[in-house]
Amino acid sequence: MPSFRIVFAGTPEFSVPCLDACRASGAEVVAVYTQPDRPAGRGRKLTPSPVKQAALAANIPVQQPPTLKTVQARATLAAYRPDLLVVVAYGLILSPKVLAMPRLGCWNVHASLLPRWRGAAPIQRAILAGDRESGVDLMQMEAGLDTGPVLLERRTPISRDDTGGSLHDRLSLLGAEVLAEGLRRTLAGETLPAAPQSDEGVMYAHKLEKAEARLDFMRPALALEQQVRAFDPWPVAEAEIAGETLRIWSARAIEQPHGAAPGSVIHVQRDGIDVACGEGALRIATLQRAGGKRISAADYLNARPELRGKR
């Protein structure tokens, strides 16, 4: 029986469990496509992507074309004779010619419950919006941006303690689970039912921008709490507190009538610094001074004794 040939395309850490699922499925991963090496770290040294590192460790051939739009790039991909192209946070747009190349087309593992949060940053946008649930969809790719029919889905609640980082890690593993199921059923000869996405409830998860990290205390405290959670670990929320610009790593909205100007420190205690918002107050628990490391509110107050008078 001829082997089932997969080409895997992915780049960040999120994609690695899905690559592992392909390797464990019994199919043959004949090549891995990933973004070109990028400068990283203080020395700006060219660094391979997490997917490239995983592929090289598994002795899988790696391709890193800057685009798949050239005739040569498409010819190289075609030479692998893929039955299926699995795409997980790859970072390049695939043309209709590429999508049509594998015998079974292209699958995408997307970190949202489509059609909500199509696009680049679905994990963070879900937390920013206060969504109570997220998940991963295994989707048959087509020319539109995350518009293809859904083959399989996994769901997970979003708790008030979830951050962009914790939800990212959980969805990465769920993505590997849903992909593994899809491959198992396909390799057993089953054709997965493809459910078209609804035209209602479409939301776009635009790429995160550093400028979005600034907290505006005119907004409700709950919206700011969601912003802090969504932007951990990047780009990390920041705000001016008592005349000092700080990075805010953890905070909780509290219902506290105050009548104070938004942005004012209205109360301090060892477990947090309460800042007035347009509605309620934001209790900041973990923060970071310029050039420093993450510290608790209690440690920060030790360095700012003038604030302790607000107890």
113 labelled as ligand-binding? yes
Residue 115 annotated as binding site: yes
List beta partners, residue 154: 136
HSE toward the beta carbon, residue 25, CA cutoff 13 A = 30
Rg (CA), the chain: 23
Instruction: Give the list of residues 6+ apart from residue 219 with CB closer than 8 angstroms, or none.
Output: 277, 278
CA–CA dist 185, 153 (Å, integer)? 14
112 is in an annotated binding site: yes
If one counts every other C-beta atom within 10 angstroms of the C-beta of residue 288, the result is 16
The answer on whether 138 is annotated among ligand-binding residues is no
CB 125 within 8 A of CB 203: yes
DSSP letters of 22-78? HHHTTSEEEEEE-PPPEEETTTTEEE--HHHHHHHHTT--EE--S-S-SHHHHHHHH
Spatial separation of the C-alpha atoms in residues 36 and 47, rounded to whole Å: 9
Annotated binding site for (6S)-5,6,7,8-tetrahydrofolate: 112-115
Annotated binding site: 112-115
